[in-house]
Amino acid sequence: MNIAVIGTGYVGLVAGTCFAESGNDVTCVDIDAAKIALLNQGRVPIYEPGLEEMVRRNAAEQRLGFTTDLTSAVQKSAVIFIAVGTPQSATGHANLEFVRDTAKAIAKAINAFKVIVTKSTVPVGTADQIKQWISEETAQPFAVVSNPEFLKEGAAVEDFMKPDRVVLGGDDAEALETVKELYEPFVRTGNPILVMDSRSAEMSKYAANSMLATKISFINEVSCLCEEMGADVTEVRRAMSLDRRIGPHFIFPGVGYGGSCFPKDIRAMIGMGGTRLEMLLLQAVEQVNERQKAILVEKVKRHFGADLTGLTFAVWGLAFKPRTDDMRDAPSITVIAALLNAGARVQAFDPEAMDEAKKIFGDRIGYAARNYDALAGAAALLILTEWNEFRRPDFRRIKELLKAPIIFDGRNIYEPSDLQKLGFKYYSIGRNHG
Ligand code: NAD
């Protein structure tokens, strides 16, 4: 089948590549000419495990192409996916400007019946809105299907190829069947394709992300209380996770959630409630998260004093989570800004997110080529992202390089008793040693 994917970011590029991998002819479209030029050279502008190799293979076999020409991509495709960004607007609502521009551009290009699929995360009612935007521009026939994406950055290809479920929403049976067929190769192990009305499909994405963010804020709040009460959140989490009604996932305390989805989707869901329904729980989830992002620097200030002038801190991990270069709304941004505000200097390292970090911090911080280089002369090490390569470092080397053996671990990746034995002053989250 000929497919167009409009918006070639984390979602669009992965979706387009995976649809090509299952034998479709895919054209990925973006307004960012530099991104398309890079992709046409076989280079992938984002870090996502396994993606670059798959892009190159499918491009070489001519099932995957990249263009800025939306019109020709739409005209030759039967199914058109909208995968453009839906960032947060000034009011906290989802900004649908890019979706509207895309819908209008598709409408101008339509030359025959098309199935238009919304993959972007969009507020409830957007499918109806898209129908209206397109109908205002064209009399050509089309159907709209809502197909929220649930992939995780860092495991996006795997998630797309083996989804827990696929959600399709709409009222055009034939269009739903067409999109269902596209997904059949990915659900051969029996995971379901759920078909529902478009409003429920749109809501399911926000509800799922809100639930995940709620779990994170819940355990973070528990971790704060553990500290107050002298309990250890690691033990508490283990005890909780063995209850099958709770399970082990997404109850790891840390420095708060971030990324391109949770913060904006929680705010969009609060915005959907608007004045009709105050989203009390989600407001609290957000407040807890904001508080959590400040916790590590509070520990730093408790140790060193409120004025950090003259002190340098090493930071390991900048991306909002491991296995991605994405720094959108990363907690590291808040933590580093707080250190700088208190007069400190920062030397940072991240295996993949350094280029993104440079766009945010410029020359306000130093960038180390290797993780150990960040430590030279630093007063302490802060760990903000739980990259695997930080889990078993050479502690003797860390000790030699730091001015004093002090670690503030925002991800609880080390065992407090081990670090104590090695002579470190070790601070982490929700464990009763400080
Ligand atoms: P992104 O910012 O990485 O990519 C969006 C792309 O759309 C950009 O390359 C941009 O240039 C392009 N674009 C914007 N307007 C355009 C237009 N008019 N025509 C063509 N291209 C245009 O965003 P993303 O992370 O891929 O997210 C896309 C959507 O998917 C969002 O709604 C997001 O909430 C949702 N989503 C994201 C993830 C994730 O993990 N990143 C997961 C699930 C859902």
Q: What is the pLDDT of residues 155-188, one digit of tens each?
A: 999 999 999 999 999 999 999 999 999 999 999 9
| Tens digits of residue pLDDT in 249-264 | 999 999 999 999 999 9
Q: Is 7 in the pocket of ligand 1 (CB under 6 A)?
A: yes
Minimum-distance ligand 1 atom for the alpha carbon of 12: 26
Poorest-pLDDT segment among 6-10, 16-20, 138-142, 429-433: 429-433
Minimum-distance ligand 1 atom for the alpha carbon of 265: 34
Between the CA of 385 and the centroid of ligand 1 the distance, in Å, is 23
Which residues contact residue 413 at a Cβ distance below 8 angstroms, ignoring those fewer than 6 apart? 383, 386, 390, 391
Q: Is 9 in the pocket of ligand 1 (CB under 6 A)?
A: yes
Task: Determine whether 261 is an active site residue.
Answer: yes
Question: If you average pLDDT over residues 58-77, what whole number do you get?
Answer: 98
Q: Are 387 and 405 in contact (CB under 8 A)?
A: no
Residue with the smallest CA separation from ligand 1 atom 30 is 120
Between the CA of 98 and the centroid of ligand 1 the distance, in Å, is 9
Q: Is 234 in the pocket of ligand 1 (CB under 6 A)?
A: no
Q: Are 289 and 257 in contact (CB under 8 A)?
A: yes
CA distance 340 to 61: 49
CA distance 152 to 369: 27
Between the CA of 7 and the centroid of ligand 1 the distance, in Å, is 6
Minimum-distance ligand 1 atom for the alpha carbon of 119: 30
| Tens digits of residue pLDDT in 71-101 | 999 999 999 999 999 999 999 999 999 999 9
Between the CA of 120 and the centroid of ligand 1 the distance, in Å, is 7
Q: Is 120 in the pocket of ligand 1 (CB under 6 A)?
A: yes
Confidence of residue 303 (pLDDT cuts 50, 70, 90): very high
Pocket test for ligand 1, best of 6, 8, 11 (most atoms within 8 A of CB): 11
Task: Quote the pTM value.
Answer: 0.96
pLDDT at residue number 433: 60
Between the CA of 175 and the centroid of ligand 1 the distance, in Å, is 23
Q: Which domains does the chain possess?
A: 2-196 (3.40.50.720), 206-290 (1.10.1040.10), 294-427 (3.40.50.720)
CA distance 209 to 214: 8
| Tens digits of residue pLDDT in 364-378 | 999 999 999 999 999
Q: Is 31 in the pocket of ligand 1 (CB under 6 A)?
A: yes
Average pLDDT, the chain: 97
User: Quick one: which H or E segment has residue 4?
Assistant: strand 2-6
Pocket test for ligand 1, best of 30, 67, 328 (most atoms within 8 A of CB): 30
